[in-house]
A and B are shown apart, each in its own frame.
Chain A
Amino acid sequence: MKFIALIVVSLTGALLLYGTAEFPDWGDPSSPASLHVSNYYIEKTYEETHAPNFVTAVVTDYRGFDTMFETAVIFCAGLGCFLLLRDFTGKKEHFYRHIPTGVILHVKNGKKKLTTGKEFEYMDKDWVPHDLINKTVCRILIPFIQIYALYVVAHGDYSPGGGFQGGVIFGSSLILFAISYDLQTLVERIKEKILGILAATGVLIYAGIAAICMPMGGNFIDYGKLAPLLPAGSHVRALGMLGVEIGVGIAVMAIMAIIYINIVSEGRHDEGL
């Protein structure tokens, strides 16, 4: 059976490779893709939108619908993860470490929770390792990662990157926090409810900015019509893109955290990596 599968896969691969022979060369100026719309974007984007990075301009302005529904897809992924995995039956037993002595407490009655802080800290049953160096390094590193993420979001229309990448980087800083400290620490800092609200808010910001253009007399996602709302002389379309990018960034950040927390703790939000 495996042999037949190998033959089928090889034949399909050979067919696909044969098909690529007809493709235009890389960077060929006379290829169909770069004959029609590409030239328009390259020549007119800066004039029309004042966004130096015209990839962002194409993604969030000219092709804004695509990005909006992409954000909606990401939102649905987070929602699906939540609906499939979330488990509200809390665990009865908890483990705590007494920090000064290193003694481990096993609390069997789940109702009572120790207050963690200088004296006690959570401990996972499945993932015991605990390393001061890791914690310290990550504590120093995480703010820089987050500032870099904000930089990426804010410079979406100037340099490579944008809301999606910035949001992913911010979300991964939260994941790093959960890995280096404890899942419970993250869940206590950022409540599940807040993450859910942030995810929905991000999508709403995008759809909202796009929809505001309609009562202003334009089409959906026609940022040019937002001019009366903004100070005179500002690059309206670039600012519209920035707002949209911020929405995407918030949504993606929250959803990455939701997916990670739900997967790693099997939906119980108590312990994980």
Chain B
Amino acid sequence: MHWPIDLIILTFVIFCAIAAITVRDLLATAILFGAYSFLMCLLWTVMGAVDVAFTEASVGAGVSTVFFVAAIFRTSRRSRD
């Protein structure tokens, strides 16, 4: 009986995705992408794909967020569109 958890996480994933493309602050977008990755990681775990979840947690939520933040640190924080 884990389908409600599934649906709740999916809803959050969609919210995160929409928020990430609407927010104008790029730093916020990077953090939202991190949250998105973490929720996807939870979703993989619920589905039983633990290896994929592990990769998602370490690469998606961890290192890629850091790379985004580093890139924003060297460019600009505001998006123009």
- A164→B70 contact, CB < 8 A: no
Determine whether A192 belongs to the interface, using a CB cutoff of 8 Å to chain B.
no
Q: Are B58 and A56 in contact (CB under 8 A)?
A: no
Chain A's closest residue to B49 (CB) is A55
Residues of the A chain whose Cβ atoms lie less than 8 Å from the Cβ of B70 = 260, 263-264, 272-273
Contact of A56 among B51, B59, B62, B73 (CB under 8 A): B51
Per the bound structure, the CA–CA distance linking A179 and B63 in Å amounts to 13
Cβ A160 vs Cβ B63 within 8 A: no
* B47 and A168 contact, CB distance less than 8 A: no
Interface of B is mostly: helix
Q: How many residues of A contact B (CB 8 A)?
A: 27
Q: Which B35-81 residues have C-beta < 8 A from chain A?
A: 47, 50-51, 53-55, 58-59, 62-63, 66-67, 69-71, 73-74
Range class of the B interface residue count = 10 to 19
Could you tell me the distance in whole angstroms from the C-beta of A246 to the nearest C-beta in chain B?
A: 17
A165 interface contact, C-beta 8 A: yes
List, in ascending order, chain A residues with CB within 8 A of B73's CB. Answer: 126-127, 264, 272-273
CB <8 Å contact, A266 and B74: yes
The residues of B that contact A259 with a CB separation of less than 8 Å are 67
> Hey, which bits of chain A sit against chain B, CB under 8 A?
26, 53, 55-56, 59, 126-127, 152, 160-162, 164-165, 168-169, 171-172, 175, 179, 256, 259-260, 263-264, 266, 272-273
Instruction: Given contacts A260-B66, A260-B67, list 13 more A-B pairs with CB under 8 A.
Output: A59-B51, A126-B73, A127-B73, A162-B51, A172-B58, A172-B66, A260-B63, A263-B71, A263-B74, A264-B73, A266-B74, A272-B73, A273-B70
